[in-house]
Amino acid sequence: MTLSVYLAGQIHDDWRKQLKSKAIEKNLQIEFTGPQEEHDLSDDIGAKVLGEQPNKVVHDDAASGINNFRTEIMLKNADAVIALFGDSYKQWNTAMDAGIAIGLGKPLILIRPDNLVHPLKELSNKAHVTVETIDQAIQVLEYYYK
């Protein structure tokens, strides 16, 4: 069976690309989804669709509605969710997406580097699996097919 796995996390580096290419190497039948990774597009999609907005708050809200429309469909159709945290950025969307996954009862893998153990302890406890690296997350997905 092909699984659908949603990748929650920041969109500033290419961690999803790495994860996907490792999954392909291992021949895992997985369709990955996730938030819009083209950062400017993600920020400006509201204005692009709806035109210039009266101020920054409304500009951001317009973009967010379209981003949320897109990711909610993906999250609801996902068999599982992976949430990756790192040292940069606030990453509140990552924690929110992980929370939604928990609220919807979706199995969740948390990728949490060693130095973030304490601030992510409740989220880790609610996740099904907590790992430290992308490679370990791939091993968990690989185990699904064993």
Q: Which residues, numbered 127-146, are part of the site for a second copy (CB under 8 A)?
A: 127-132, 136, 139-140, 143-144, 146
Which residues within the stretch 19-58 sit at the binding site for a second copy (CB under 8 A)? Answer: 31, 36, 38, 41, 45, 48-50, 54-58
Closest distance to a second copy from the beta carbon of 27 (Å): 17
Burial level of 66, CB count in 10 A (0-12/13-18/19+)?
middle
Question: Could you tell me how many residues of this chain bind a second copy (CB under 8 A)?
Answer: 74
13 binds a second copy (CB under 8 A): no
Query: At a CB cut-off of 8 Å and minimum separation 6, what does 70 contact?
Result: 35, 36
Q: List the one residue from 7, 11, 97, 111 that touches a second copy (CB under 8 A).
A: 97
14 binds a second copy (CB under 8 A): no
**CA-CA distance, 104 to 107, in Å (whole number)?**
9
Q: Are 134 and 13 in contact (CB under 8 A)?
A: no
Q: List the one residue from 27, 52, 105, 115 that touches a second copy (CB under 8 A).
A: 105
Closest distance to a second copy from the beta carbon of 83 (Å): 10
Q: List the one residue from 19, 28, 84, 98 that touches a second copy (CB under 8 A).
A: 98
CA 120 to chain CA mean position, Å: 16
Q: Are 95 and 119 in contact (CB under 8 A)?
A: no
DSSP-derived letter for residue 7 is E
Closest distance to a second copy from the beta carbon of 25 (Å): 17
Minimum CB distance to a second copy smaller for 23 or for 131: 131
